Structure formats: C-alpha cells, structure tokens
Amino acid sequence: MLRALALMLLSGAALATPNEITGRYQCGSAQFYITSSADMEQVRLRVDSRIYDLAAMRTASGAAWSDGEWIWWTKGA
C-alpha cells in the first residue's frame, strides 16, 4: 500500500546548486525538506532523520515522485 503525503508549501524553492532545487514544506507541526535534480526526475525527501529517494511518476495534475512505498505529490495549478 502506498503512503501519500499531502503537504503545503511553506517557503518557495531556492536554487541550491546549478544541479539542485531545494524546498521546505510543512504539514501540521511536521517539517519536510526536499532536494530535486534540476530536471525534476529524482527527488530526495527528508522527514525527521529518514531519507527517501523518489523517482518521478506520471500524474494527471501536479507532479509526483515515488519509491514504491512513499509518494511525494505537489498540487497542480
């Protein structure tokens, strides 16, 4: 069963290096940090001390990445 995270953007994405984009998100009192490859094909999600490496997946709205257990899904426009 896939676990999904529905999260709200807390601060805008900021360019970390020419090859990475980083962001900080919050859902209730929990904070999440994400680092993405510039092409947005891979993301690394940090939740507390756990790290998840996720690959892009196809969606009808927004963008999503998964490792088969966790899904990081952003809201579409």
* Tens digits of residue pLDDT in 14-72: 434 557 778 888 888 888 888 888 888 888 988 888 899 999 998 887 788 999 998 88
pLDDT of residue 57: 92
Report DSSP letters for 5-57, one per residue.
EE-EEEEEEEEEETTEEEEEEEETTEEEEEEEETTSSEEEEEETTEEEEEEEE
The model's pTM is: 0.64
Determine how β-strand 70-74 pairs with β-strand 63-66.
Answer: antiparallel
Helix, strand or coil for residue 21? strand
For the chain, domain boundaries:
3-74
Q: pLDDT at residue 7 above 50? A: no
